[in-house]
Structures are given as C-alpha cells and as structure tokens.
Amino acid sequence: MSNIGAAQQSIGEEDVLRARFYTLLSNLLLAPPPAGVLADLGGLTGDETPLGQALGDLAAAAREADAEAVSEEHLAVLVGITRGEVVPYASHYLTGFLHEKPLAEVRESLRALGVERAPGQVEPEDHIGILFDIMRGLILGEFGGAAGGGLGGQKAFFTRHIAPWADTLFRDIEAARSARFYRAVGAVGRAFLDIERESFAMVGEKGEG
C-alpha cells in the first residue's frame, strides 16, 4: 500500500478519507487483521449516519475479537479450503464462474492505467480487495494512464468493475454463517458503497462535475 499521508498535500481531506476507507476494506478483505490492527479498529468511533453506525459496530466487534479467531473466520468466509462461504471475485458474481470475462475486463482497464500485475501476486485481479486498492490509487493519483484522470476515471472504474456486484457481495458477507467480525466489515463496506454510488451519481459524464 502507498503512503496516504503523503497524498494529503495534493488532494482534499474528503478524498484522503475515501482513500483510507478503500485501504481499510481492501486490507480486511485480502487478509485477516493482526492483533495490532484489531486494537486500532477497536478505538474507532461512530456517529448517527449509516456509515457511522456501521463503524461503531465494527469497533465493538474488533474489541470483542481475537486475532486467531478472526484469522479462522477470514479463512472460512472468504477463502476456504477449496472456496469460502463467499467468493469475492467479480467473475463469480457476474457469471457464476471464476476467470471469466469480468476478469479480462479488469485486466484491460489496468493496462489502460499502466498497472502491471505484481510479481508473486496469486489473487486474480477481479478480487474485491484488489479492486478497492485500485480505487485507492485512482483517488491518490498514482496511475499515469489517461484512463485514471480525476473523478471521471474513478467513476468509470467504479461503475464498470465494482458497482454491478459489490453490494451483493457485502450483503453475502454479512449473512455468512461463519461471520462474526466480518459481519461488521460487510456492513461498513455496504454503507461506504452507498455513499460512493451517490457521490458518483453527481459526477458529470466528463468526470469533474
């Protein structure tokens, strides 16, 4: 992950906050949080908004959680031996199978952004955690390709690769039989996506409106 703090000098406070949410969710979806991260999450405070309430619930879940148990939960919900209760890939949600057209479309978008697959990366690029990390990079202006320019680039990537399925994914995480801590993660993700969707709805077709 890149240093978000270094970006604060060049982007607004609201976008820094958005990038932090994408980073948080990306990290939690790709790997279970260690004890130190759980302790940090336990110190979060919420408010009366839907996202604030979800954050309050996440903080409470983190305070009650044990890192080893959360690691086992992450395995059961999102990974599994052959597959977890929830399969966090666009291809699965949009076609019912892995490594299908949605993955090829993500790779096409990444090429346009000048993003190359990292050496040793085992997860297909349509994993929700990777897609959220790309959104973080778009917000922070990390990509040189013309497709990544400003809010228009963010909206295009979100609309094409995240909006069609991620809300259903987070609902499925909330409903997963093995979910305890991750039930709260799912609620945060769903509430955050609602805000992003509403914000992008106000962005003009040319991207900066």
Q: Does the pLDDT of residue 204 top 60, yes or no?
A: yes
Residue 103 neighbours by CB under 8 Å, 6+ apart: 89, 90, 91, 124, 125, 126
Domains contained in the chain, number: 1
The answer to whether residue 207 is domain-embedded is no
Structural Rg of the chain based on CA atoms: 17
pLDDT score for 186:
98
pLDDT score for 206:
46
Q: What is the overall mean pLDDT for the chain?
A: 91
Q: Tell me the pLDDT tens digit for each residue of 72-93.
A: 999 999 998 889 999 999 999 9
The answer to whether residue 52 is domain-embedded is yes
The answer to whether residue 184 is domain-embedded is yes
State how far Cα 58 lies from the chain centre. 15
Tokens in use for 7? Answer: 């970006």
17, HSE (Cβ side, Cα atoms, 13 Å): 7
pLDDT score for 148:
64
Give the domain CATH number at 117: 1.10.3480.10
pLDDT score for 209:
42
What does each C-alpha distance from 60 to 37, 66, 93, 173, 185 come to in angstroms? 13, 12, 30, 18, 11
pLDDT score for 7:
47
The answer to whether residue 145 is domain-embedded is yes
The answer to whether residue 206 is domain-embedded is no
Instruction: Give the Cα separation of 86 and 11 in Å (integer).
Output: 35
Average pLDDT over residues 128-140: 97
Tokens in use for 200? Answer: 């992008």
The answer to whether residue 120 is domain-embedded is yes
Paired with 127 in beta bridges are 89
Lowest pLDDT segment from 83-97, 135-149, 161-175, 178-192: 135-149
Tokens in use for 68? Answer: 């080893």
Give residue 34's domain range.
9-201
pTM: 0.91
The answer to whether residue 69 is domain-embedded is yes
Give the count of beta carbons closer than 10 Å to the beta carbon of residue 168: 13
Q: Does the pLDDT of residue 190 top 50, yes or no?
A: yes
pLDDT score for 203:
82
The answer to whether residue 125 is domain-embedded is yes
Q: Tell me the pLDDT tens digit for each residue of 9-50.
A: 578 999 999 999 999 999 999 999 999 999 999 999 999 999
